[in-house]
Amino acid sequence: MTDYRFVQESGRHGMHARMLDYVDPGNGKKVLELGCGPGKYAALLHTAGFDVEAVDPHEFDTWERIRASTSVRLTSEVYAENLPYGDASFDHVTCLSALLYFQDPFGGLSQMYRVLRPGGLLVLRTVNSGNLYTARTGKKLDPASKQLYRMEELISLVESAGFAVEDSFAYGFWPPFLSGLWWYLSCVWMNNRWEDRLSNMLRPEHRVNNIVIARKPGAS
């Protein structure tokens, strides 16, 4: 991502956890993007002005393009429960849609707490166990997911790892039928306004994702 205006708009949208509303863009602050997958958010954070370390258990074909055009450091075979970084190494940590795959969620959050500097922020997004699709069908949105939480359960988990939760909200719509068609529409045709309208139609407890913003106590 090289379009700074686009990055600013995307990074402040509910679909992307409104992360740039919470972590101040720029200034070269160090961010760990945990469970980065193909690297979309690592690239976004880089364009927003952060010094980005991005890790995932798996390597993706898209990483070579990101490496070629940015200074993002992408590392595979890294698991949240055993982060290879010293204490207080990062100004912020983002974890967007990876928590549901953790073998040990509390252990992973404890590691995030350890590598964050005092006063640093965690931006955490994960699938809501009460989302409309699951509530109506009894099926997981992603069959590979291991851990899903309602908002109150997620907040309790984050606080149990030592964080102070500063904000939380739910976002997203997924219908309990025609999932393949919906995936196509949402990826190709749906704009942010329609995503917002559909999300707002639902009670928060039935939206797709729960987002928690939490701080490691102490002076920044």
User: What local confidence, expressed as pLDDT, does residue 219 receive?
Assistant: 76
User: What local confidence, expressed as pLDDT, does residue 15 receive?
Assistant: 83
Cα→Cα distances 96→41, 80, 181, 219, Å: 8, 13, 24, 25
Note down the domain range covering 149.
4-215
User: What local confidence, expressed as pLDDT, does residue 26 receive?
Assistant: 63
In a domain, 94, yes or no: yes
Contact status, residue 208 vs residue 174, Cβ threshold 8 Å: yes
Closest CA to 79 of 52, 105, 45, 114: 105
Residue ranges in the chain whose pLDDT is less than 70: 1-3, 26, 180-190, 220
Domain CATH code at residue 145? 3.40.50.150
In a domain, 220, yes or no: no
DSSP designation for 149:
B
Three-class HEC string of 39-103:
CHHHHHHHHCCCEEEEECCCCCCCHHHHHHHCCCEEECCCCHHHCCCCCCCEEEEEEECCHHHCC
> pLDDT for 67-99, tens place per residue?
999 999 999 999 999 999 999 999 999 999 899
User: Identity (one letter) of the amino acid at 3?
Assistant: D
User: What local confidence, expressed as pLDDT, does residue 135 receive?
Assistant: 92
Pairing of β 209-215 and β 116-127 = antiparallel
Closest CA to 117 of 218, 192, 24: 218
User: What local confidence, expressed as pLDDT, does residue 79 receive?
Assistant: 96
What total number of domains does the chain contain? 1
In a domain, 40, yes or no: yes
